[in-house]
């Protein structure tokens, strides 16, 4: 017998032994005798394998992506969404016989079988389907039985498990589905999971657009995403890419000329790692809790189930809101820093620095609490680590700055920045179109649209006047600018007399429209006395303010409770929407990963005030733009021309908060500016008033919106009530009518009698 025949018999003996032994082992693994093998995935999970999929948040156009919620940043694609160049590059590199085997490659099997008999498994034989088994079920890391204590035995068991799972996958899915699943489950590094995110991260392309040049990089990353990362390790990446390109040439997919050209070409990267702080980051993070609550109620996982969440945010308006805030806050911060002249911005009501501000503020930080828990609040170690300098990157309007700061230094630095919030809403539908919660989400996580609540200052006054108008007081009702004193049930402060912003009383008789336009405190207090604080609270709640409000005299100046910008924009929208409050909302529908609608969302609505009162309040708000001394008079002429605009500024005590609310017939927007802490503010009231700090944000935003037809927002006029008004809006015609004041004598009932037959 010659040596050739002997070798044939040996090979067949190995194959037969492998077959018999393999069948025995497979049976053992399936039944998991005594917990030796760790078991296999259930048949159901094999038939329906699942991988974590990112849930995607979309702009209102339903196409552009705002961002994603994920544990692993992955978005699945189908086989038809893959370029042929990508598929070919993968197969020549990982499994050239993929289309010819049923999950196990015979050549690889013979190589692995010899290892099984000798317990000297050396790898090899892993088809794409077997690799998919590992990606889906973690065969080398999960469900390990007691025999895995021997590394060699564990490797053999793992390989057999992959054979079993691969065969099941091949029987359940087409080759195209397996290949797509494989590319969807790969980790490519740089926070990219799955081929779609990887294509976007490295090349800013869809998988359907990937060429051989780009595919060679992506396929190189499959087995070692760090080692072959073209950004971190370009030399390794170039060597591996050459190997992949050679496979394409070797199997006749590209000619020698193409190979030579591709080998020396650059990587062609357009690298951009998904950044959770880009786009409407504040919006995305604030609404996450509501989305998680919805998922809990409906049995979904926001971070793994690949939901498609469609929002009301307009891409263009969102961009313009961010630009408007960036432009204003960059300038305002420069002014703020310059006017401080080296003084600290945390000051008390008398303009003196609060000396223990930083010491008290640091105690509210997570870093302090962690160090205090470890070392104790009175230890020298706590003080040492709070003042220990270390390298860090900090925010600036000129770009990130690398510096050396201690925790105390860092707190002092960041507390000197003014913050801001902006929101715009479509009053008729409740659709929130733009939401910017702060100056930079990367460094300042706190949202100043919905999370943050502050005293509204004079932006609360329209609810006082709305309550008065609802009771019959017309916009032309005249009141004298004179001190108004409240008798309080407080022995320590028995009376309260609110002052005007300039500390003076003019003695002038003016209409309540002009008084609101000029934000005269004494006249608002006069009206509040007539209607009662409770009436103002009830009106604010009816219009959409949901935060608690104290029915106290100081509420007439907005000092009776904290409210959010989100609430104020919704409440002002009630005036534009003919008295119907529509809840500001931001999600229109949620679909599952296959596009099946899970829920359509409709905002809450309720009749809040009469359309007559609503229209009269719009007339009152227009006074800020039309009345002499109005706080909106300084708005650009191009905004006011052929356009109805209503507005109200607001500034709290010591100018801790600056507000501006602007309303048009189809868009209501609001801006807030102030320090994260109310003790951080301008050193004089005039510089920090809302007309100077917040109004420019709204103005810049509206100019950009009107200039871009893609926003769909056009100028126009407020809609009139369906029934004629019986109130005169031209105050020149109203001058002869007596009103309820000390100087003019008669009561409001006489006004209503005289105006009963006047129609608008």
* Structural domain that includes position 202: 3-50+73-263
The number of CA neighbours under 13 Å toward the Cβ of 15 is 11
> What is the token pair recorded at 290?
């509501």
Where residue 27 falls among pLDDT bands split at 50, 70, 90?
A: low
Range name among 274-283, 312-321, 698-707 with the lowest pLDDT average: 274-283
- CATH at residue 611: 3.40.710.10
Where residue 369 falls among pLDDT bands split at 50, 70, 90?
A: very high
- pLDDT, residue 639, reads 97
Q: What share of the chain is helix, strand, coil (3-state, %, to 5)?
A: 45, 15, 40
Question: Residue 698, SS3?
Answer: helix
Q: Could you read off the pLDDT of 518-528 as tens digits, one per residue?
A: 999 999 999 99
Where residue 309 falls among pLDDT bands split at 50, 70, 90?
A: very high
Last residue of a domain, one of 227, 248, 263: 263
276: pLDDT strictly greater than 50? yes
Taking the C-alpha atoms of residue 695 and residue 698, their distance in angstroms, rounded to an integer, is 5
Which position has the token pair 């609490």? 369
Where residue 282 falls among pLDDT bands split at 50, 70, 90?
A: very high
What is the DSSP pairing of strand 390-394 with strand 401-405?
A: antiparallel
Task: Give the whole-number percent of the chain exceeding pLDDT 70.
Answer: 83
Phi and psi for 377 in degrees, rounded to 5?
-75, -20
Burial profile 47-71: b = 16 or more Cβ within 10 angstroms, e = fewer: eebebbbbbbbbbbeeeeebbbbbe
Which position has the token pair 């802490």? 677
CA angle (125, 128, 133) in 5-degree steps: 95
Q: Is residue 365 part of a domain?
A: no
Burial profile 222-240: b = 16 or more Cβ within 10 angstroms, e = fewer: beebeebbbeeeeebbbeb
| Neighbour-count burial of 5, counting CB atoms closer than 10 A to its CB (0-12 exposed, 13-18 middle, 19+ buried) | exposed
Q: Which helix (H) or strand (E) holds 599?
A: strand 597-600
Name 563's bridge partners.
454
Closest CA to 455 of 555, 566, 572: 555
In this prediction, residues 364-378 reach a mean pLDDT of 91
Q: Could you read off the pLDDT of 65-97 as tens digits, one per residue?
A: 998 888 777 788 899 999 999 999 999 999 898
Tell me if 427 sits within 8 A of 666, measured CB to CB: yes
- pLDDT, residue 6, reads 55
Please state the domain count of the chain.
Answer: 2
- pLDDT, residue 351, reads 86
Q: Is residue 403 part of a domain?
A: no
Closest CA to 287 of 623, 718, 726, 588: 588
Q: Is residue 632 part of a domain?
A: yes
Range name among 57-66, 188-197, 628-637 with the lowest pLDDT average: 188-197
Q: Is residue 683 part of a domain?
A: yes
Last residue of a domain, one of 263, 280, 298: 263
In angstroms, the Cα distances linking 222 to 90, 182, 187, 197, 351 are 9, 10, 7, 14, 62
Range name among 80-94, 269-283, 601-615 with the lowest pLDDT average: 269-283
Q: Could you read off the pLDDT of 535-591 as tens digits, one per residue?
A: 999 999 999 999 999 999 999 999 989 999 999 999 999 999 999 999 999 999 999
Q: Is residue 42 part of a domain?
A: yes
330 vs 104, more confident: 330
Question: Residue 598, SS3?
Answer: strand
Taking the C-alpha atoms of residue 325 and residue 694, their distance in angstroms, rounded to an integer, is 9
Taking the C-alpha atoms of residue 57 and residue 276, their distance in angstroms, rounded to an integer, is 12
- pLDDT, residue 468, reads 97
Where residue 434 falls among pLDDT bands split at 50, 70, 90?
A: very high
- CATH at residue 112: 1.10.3810.10
Q: Is residue 187 part of a domain?
A: yes
Last residue of a domain, one of 211, 235, 263: 263
Which position has the token pair 């544990």? 71
Taking the C-alpha atoms of residue 484 and residue 528, their distance in angstroms, rounded to an integer, is 10
Q: Is residue 582 part of a domain?
A: yes
Closest CA to 525 of 489, 504, 505, 497: 497
Q: Is residue 401 part of a domain?
A: no
């Amino acid at each position: 017998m010659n040596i050739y025949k002997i070798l044939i018999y040996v090979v067949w003996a190995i194959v037969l032994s492998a077959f018999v032994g393999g069948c025995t082992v497979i049976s053992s693994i399936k039944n998991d005798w005594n917990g030796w093998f760790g078991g296999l995935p259930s048949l159901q999970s094999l038939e329906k394998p699942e991988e974590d999929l990112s849930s995607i948040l979309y702009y209102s156009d339903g196409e552009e992506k705002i961002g994603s919620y994920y544990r692993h940043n992955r978005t699945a694609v189908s086989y038809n969404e893959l370029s042929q160049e990508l598929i070919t590059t993968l197969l020549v590199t990982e499994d050239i016989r993929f289309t010819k085997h049923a999950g196990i490659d015979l050549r690889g099997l013979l190589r692995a079988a010899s290892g099984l008999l000798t317990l000297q498994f050396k790898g090899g034989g892993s088809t794409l389907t077997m690799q998919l088994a590992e990606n889906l079920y973690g065969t080398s890391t999960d469900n390990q039985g007691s025999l895995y204590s021997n590394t060699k035995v564990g490797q053999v068991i793992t390989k057999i498990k992959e054979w079993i799972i691969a065969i099941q996958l091949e029987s359940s899915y087409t080759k195209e589905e397996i290949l797509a699943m494989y590319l969807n489950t790969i980790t490519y590094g740089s926070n990219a999971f799955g081929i779609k995110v990887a294509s976007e991260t490295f090349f800013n392309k869809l998988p359907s657009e990937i060429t051989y040049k780009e595919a060679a990089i992506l396929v190189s990353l499959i087995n070692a995403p760090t080692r072959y990362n073209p950004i971190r390790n370009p030399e390794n990446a170039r060597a591996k890419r050459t190997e992949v390109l050679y496979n394409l040439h070797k199997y006749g997919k590209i000619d020698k000329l193409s190979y030579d050209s591709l080998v020396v070409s650059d990587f062609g990267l357009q690298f951009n790692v998904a950044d959770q702080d880009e786009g409407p980051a504040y919006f995305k993070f604030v609404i996450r809790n509501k989305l998680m609550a919805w998922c809990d109620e409906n049995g979904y996982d926001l971070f793994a189930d690949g939901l498609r969440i469609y929002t009301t945010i307009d891409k263009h308006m969102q961009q313009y809101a961010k630009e408007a805030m960036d432009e204003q806050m960059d300038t305002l911060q420069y002014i703020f820093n310059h006017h401080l002249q080296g003084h600290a911005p945390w000051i008390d009501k008398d303009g003196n620095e609060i000396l223990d501000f930083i010491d008290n503020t640091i105690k509210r930080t997570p870093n302090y609490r962690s160090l205090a828990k470890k070392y104790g609040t009175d230890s020298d170690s706590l003080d040492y680590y709070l003042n220990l300098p270390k390298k860090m990157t900090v925010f600036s309007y000129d770009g990130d700055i690398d510096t050396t700061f201690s925790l105390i230094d860092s707190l002092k630095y960041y507390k000197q920045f003014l913050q801001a919030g902006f929101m715009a809403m479509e009053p008729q539908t409740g659709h929130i179109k733009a939401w910017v919660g702060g100056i930079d989400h990367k460094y300042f996580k706190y949202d100043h649209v919905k999370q943050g609540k502050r005293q509204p200052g004079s932006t609360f006054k329209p609810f006082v006047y709305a309550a008065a108008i609802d009771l019959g007081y017309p916009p032309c009702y005249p009141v004298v600018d004179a001190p108004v004193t409240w008798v309080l049930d407080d022995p320590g402060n028995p009376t309260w007399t609110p002052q005007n912003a300039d500390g003076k009383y003019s003695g002038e008789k003016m209409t309540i429209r002009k008084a609101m336009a000029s934000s005269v405190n004494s006249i608002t207090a006069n009206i509040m006395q007539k209607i009662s604080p409770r009436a103002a609270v009830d009106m604010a709640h009816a219009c959409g303010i949901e935060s608690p409000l104290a029915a106290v005299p100081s509420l007439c100046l907005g000092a009776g409770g904290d409210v959010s910008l989100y609430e104020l924009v919704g409440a002002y929208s009630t005036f534009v929407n003919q008295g119907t409050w529509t809840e500001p909302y931001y999600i229109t529908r949620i679909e599952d990963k296959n596009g099946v609608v899970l829920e359509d969302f409709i905002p809450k609505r309720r009749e809040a005030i009469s359309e007559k009162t609503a229209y009269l309040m719009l007339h009152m708000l227009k006074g800020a733009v039309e009345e002499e001394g109005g706080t909106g008079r300084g708005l650009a002429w191009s905004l006011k021309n052929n356009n109805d605009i209503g507005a109200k500024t607001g500034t709290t005590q010591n100018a801790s908060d600056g507000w501006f609310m602007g309303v048009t017939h189809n868009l209501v927007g609001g801006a807030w500016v102030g320090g994260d802490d109310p003790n951080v503010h301008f050193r004089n009231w005039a510089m920090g008033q809302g007309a100077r700090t917040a109004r420019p944000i709204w103005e810049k935003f509206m100019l950009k919106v009107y200039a871009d037809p893609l926003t769909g927002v056009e100028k126009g006029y407020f809609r009139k009530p369906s029934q004629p008004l019986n109130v005169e809006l031209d105050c020149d015609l109203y001058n002869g009518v007596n009103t309820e004041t000390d100087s003019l004598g008669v009561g409001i009932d006489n006004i209503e009698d005289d105006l009963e037959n006047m129609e608008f």
